[in-house]
Amino acid sequence: MQRALLYGVFTALVSLLLGYSVEPWMGWVLFYTGLSVHLAMHYRNFSRLERWSRKPVLDASLEGDGEWDRVFRRLYRHEKELLEKIERREREIARLIAAVHAMNDGIVLLDAEFQIQFCNKTAERQLDLALATDRGAPIANIVRQPAFVDYLDRADFSRPLTLRLDRYFERVLSLYLISYAEGHWLLQVKDITQTDRLDSMRRDFVANVSHELRTPLTVLSGFVETLQEIEVDEDTRRHYLQLMGEQSQRMQSIVQDLLTLSSIESAPPPEDQLVDMDSLVDKLRRDAEALSAGRHHIVLDSEGQGDLVGAESELVSALANLVANAVRYTPAGGTITLIWRISPEGAEFAVQDTGIGIDAKHIPRLTERFYRVDRGRSRDAGGTGLGLAIVKHALSRHQATLEVSSEPGKGSRFAACFPASRVRCE
Amino acid sequence: MNESQHVSSQFDEDLGRLRTHVLQMGGLVETQISAAIEAYTTGEIASVKTIVETDRKVNDLEKAIDDDCAHIIAKRQPTASDLRLVLGISKIVTDLERAGDEAKKIAKGVRRIYDNGHLPAQYGVGIRHLAEAALAMVRQALDAFARLDGALAVSVIRADADVDVEFKSIIRQLITHMMEDPRTITTSIDIISISRAIERIGDHAKNISEQVIFVVEGRDIRHNKEAIK
């Protein structure tokens, strides 16, 4: 500004000097020419500014002469800072959106009419939404479960809604509707399928334990009552007592198995001791022979030299359960093969039988507590319904897995596979 | 100008509400069908009662929606796509209501079988599979209506052929059962009526999809197999 003023004063002074010393009109001419040049320069810069303001992009065209240059430079800097700020904000927003998409919980933003404004990927998956097509649609158009529609209608969102969806596969969702930013709603969706399943498993477990214990108890108390009320002859009495003995034995083995299971579950990780596998496998074979009492053909197929590291008592209860199962579910005359393979890469103890076999649909559930393929039969055979649960727990504490393959009518193969870290070969 | 804009946005709101009501009714029918499947597989007879009760709500909604359609046509005289929407809706609700009735029939059949001391589930998993396919069709048809998605509607119409094939194979299987063991005839007849109802649900889903295509594209493709090729 000062320079423009100086230029004006200077032009005026020179013109005045010229006017006084030479001719007045020359002074005027010089004065007007000077001002016109000055005006032309300003006009040129002004039209540049005007042109730029029509489409304000950041480029080199934004530069001027003299005084204008400073203005243009300041404008340029301001514009640049603004753009950077916008870019920074956009990056922040994009990061926030990415974070919302990365969440494990579903998030749906709704307006006052419960129309979908935004939802993250998890919510798309959970509720079968598609943001691209469903933006602006009332959420009840897509999530049509009457329970959900009623929940929205009732407008009491103090408690979450538990929603069961059976699209594609069973899912249990917990929905929270939270008010935010004046009249807008945030719908938070948690997948509680796992917790729900655990809850029902726990409930089933208690119900099963009571049921399994009550059955022999009913028999027992029935006989006690009979013996108290009526006179019976010696033979009948002995027969009753024998049945009572069997039932109390049954209860005892259920309680024993429950205790084993809970001690395996709650005990600290097994202390690593070297387990002499040759003698253990031999003992398992002898157990099998004793249990079978000559009804089956027992074969031992052992290969490799080495021992396992782990808790001997747990390994014994796991492997002995597999052997006992095979004896129990193989009809007389069948063959039971105990297979023991050990090498530095890992070890496997398998029991192969020619028994009744298991239908494929039961196999994934075999290790559930009290899961029975055939209720009557397994109880007759003296099973408690906890054996394989114990096996699975004991093995998993040794990082070992239980692999089951079976064909109904042909026989089954149960294998405990131990990782290399558990093997000690001389 | 301002006046007409106000009126038309009010109209849009009315149409939007109408659509939401149809989808609400659809949601009720969906739960009826899935509850019927549940009753079939688990024997939870208690759910049969809820299905019958839901049916009353479905019927009320059908009447209310029909009423709304008549009102909109009389008061707003909609044209073009709006008119197609209203006409389509009045047909969709009929099909939805009938699909709900079929679910009720399934539930009653299940109750009959259990009352006679039989387990329907032992007659193979085919029925459950068929029912799930039909339910998926209803869902997709309603999704197509909610999103006005013509392509999805076409895929529902195509899926109906699979359901029909599966239905026929179940009938064949049941006939073999009955010939092998005449004692199964009573239950088999009930199962046939259940699978018939399921197959009808598939047909209703197909009809709904045809209406969706009519609403979206203005084409009437009923009774025209070439149209969806």
Q: Which of residues 92-131 of A touch B (CB under 8 A)?
A: 128, 130
Q: Which helix (H) or strand (E) holds A79?
A: helix A67-102
pLDDT of residue A311: 85
Structure tokens at A40: 């032309």
Q: Mean pLDDT, to the nearest integer, of B62-70?
A: 90
Flag if B142 and A137 touch (Cβ within 8 Å): no
At how many degrees (to 10) do helices B126-147 and B150-180 cross? Answer: 160
Give the pLDDT confidence of B107-165 residue by residue, as tens digits: 888 888 888 777 766 665 678 888 888 999 999 999 999 988 888 999 999 988 888 99
Name the residue among B225, B202, B214 with its Cα closest to residue B95.
Answer: B202
Q: How far does A71 lie from chain B, in Å, by closest CA?
A: 45
Q: Could you give the strand order of the β-sheet that contains A401-407, starting from the edge strand earlier in sequence?
A: A297-303, A335-343, A346-353, A411-419, A401-407
Contact of A14 with chain B, judged by CB distance below 8 Å, is answered with no
Query: CA angle A170-A172-A173, nearest 5°?
Result: 135
Q: Could you tell me if B212 and B220 are in contact, meaning their C-beta atoms sit under 8 angstroms apart?
A: no
What's the gap between Cα B176 and its chain centre?
A: 30
Does the pLDDT at position B1 exceed 70? Answer: no
Residue of A nearest to B138 (CA): A167
pLDDT of residue A108: 92
Structure tokens at B65: 């929606």
Which of B30, B54, B147 is the closest to A144 by Cβ? B30
pTM of the full structure:
0.66
Flag if B27 and A137 touch (Cβ within 8 Å): no
3-state secondary structure of B80: helix
**Which backbone phi and psi does A162 adopt, to 5 degrees?**
-95, 120
Give the pLDDT confidence of A275-305 residue by residue, as tens digits: 888 888 888 888 888 888 888 888 888 888 8
In this structure, what DSSP letter does residue A144 have?
-
Q: Tokens 């002859």: give the residue.
A: A233
Does the pLDDT at position A378 exceed 60? Answer: no
**What is this model's ipTM?**
0.81
Which of A130, A145, A167 is the closest to B27 by Cβ? A145
Rounded to whole angstroms, how far apart are CA atoms B150 and B209?
A: 8
Least confident residue range of A103-112, A160-169, A284-293: A160-169
Which of B16, B27, B147 is the closest to A144 by Cβ? B27
Contact of B26 with chain A, judged by CB distance below 8 Å, is answered with yes
Q: Could you tell me if A64 and A45 are in contact, meaning their C-beta atoms sit under 8 angstroms apart?
A: yes
Does the pLDDT at position A122 exceed 80? Answer: yes
Contact of B31 with chain A, judged by CB distance below 8 Å, is answered with yes
Instruction: Give the rounded percent of residues in chain A with a pLDDT score beyond 90.
Output: 9
Rounded to whole angstroms, how far apart are CA atoms A178 and A184?
A: 9
Q: Which helix (H) or strand (E) holds A106?
A: strand A106-110
A176: left (phi over 0), alpha (psi -120 to 50) or beta: beta
CB atoms < 10 A from the CB of A79, how many?
Answer: 15
Rounded to whole angstroms, how far apart are CA atoms B218 and B216?
A: 6
Name the residue among A240, A204, A254 with its Cα closest to residue A378.
Answer: A254
Residue of A nearest to B146 (CA): A141
Q: Mean pLDDT, to the nearest integer, of A160-179?
A: 81
Give the pLDDT confidence of A55-91 residue by residue, as tens digits: 777 776 677 777 788 888 888 888 889 999 999 999 9
Give the pLDDT confidence of B82-104 residue by residue, as tens digits: 888 889 999 999 999 999 999 99
Does the pLDDT at position A168 exceed 60? Answer: no
Q: How far does A122 lie from chain B, in Å, by closest CA?
A: 19
Residue of B nearest to A145 (CA): B27
Which residues on chain A are in Cβ contact (under 8 Å) with B14? none
**Which backbone phi and psi does A324 adopt, to 5 degrees?**
-60, -40
Give the pLDDT confidence of A190-231 residue by residue, as tens digits: 988 888 878 877 887 888 888 878 888 888 888 888 888 888
Least confident residue range of A163-167, A282-286, A421-425: A163-167
Flag if A146 and B19 touch (Cβ within 8 Å): no
Confidence of residue A165 (pLDDT cuts 50, 70, 90): confident
Residue of A nearest to B145 (CA): A141
Does the pLDDT at position B3 exceed 50? Answer: no
Contact of A167 with chain B, judged by CB distance below 8 Å, is answered with yes
pLDDT of residue A218: 87
Contact of A145 with chain B, judged by CB distance below 8 Å, is answered with yes
Flag if A141 and B23 touch (Cβ within 8 Å): yes
H helix intervals, B43-149: 46-76, 80-115, 126-147
Contact of B142 with chain A, judged by CB distance below 8 Å, is answered with yes
CB atoms < 10 A from the CB of B61, how many?
Answer: 21
pLDDT mean across residues, chain A:
84
Flag if B139 and A138 touch (Cβ within 8 Å): no
Q: Mean pLDDT, to the nearest integer, of A361-383?
A: 70
Name the residue among A357, A354, A350 with its Cα closest to residue A333.
Answer: A354
Contact of A224 with chain B, judged by CB distance below 8 Å, is answered with no
Which of B20, B31, B34 is the closest to A141 by Cβ? B20
Confidence of residue B4 (pLDDT cuts 50, 70, 90): very low
Rounded to whole angstroms, how far apart are CA atoms A47 and A45?
A: 5
One-letter amino acid for residue A139 of the chain: I
Flag if A142 and B27 touch (Cβ within 8 Å): no
**Which backbone phi and psi does A298 adopt, to 5 degrees?**
-105, 125
Residue of B nearest to A114 (CA): B20
Torsion of CA B78, B84, B87, B89, to 10 degrees: -110
CB atoms < 10 A from the CB of A302, how many?
Answer: 16
Most A-contacting residue of B15, B18, B21, B23 (CB-CB within 10 A), to test interface: B23
Which of B28, B146, B149 is the closest to A141 by Cβ? B146
Q: Which residues contact A328 (CB under 8 A, 6 or more apart)?
A: A378, A381, A382, A383
In this structure, what DSSP letter does residue A261 have?
H
Rounded to whole angstroms, how far apart are CA atoms A9 and A15?
A: 10
Instruction: Give the rounded percent of residues in chain B with a pLDDT score beyond 70.
Output: 91
